[in-house]
Amino acid sequence: MQKTDRKIELLGKLQEELDRRTQVEEEAVRLISNGECEKACELLSTLDDSIVKSIRQELDQLDADAAKGNKEKYKKGFWDRVEYLAKLFWEGKWSERIDNLCLAIFWPVLILWCIAALVRIILCFL
pLDDT in tens, 9-52: 988 998 999 899 999 999 989 998 888 888 888 888 888 888 88
pLDDT in tens, 63-96: 877 766 656 666 666 777 777 766 666 665 555 5
Instruction: Give the Cβ contact number of residue 56 at 10 Å.
Output: 12
The structural domains of the chain, with segments of one domain joined by +, span 3-91, 94-126
3 state SS of 63: helix
Angstrom distance (rounded) from CA 3 to CA 68: 13
In this model, does residue 116 exceed pLDDT 80? yes
* CB contact at 8 A, 14 and 52: yes
Cα-to-chain-centroid distance, residue 98: 40
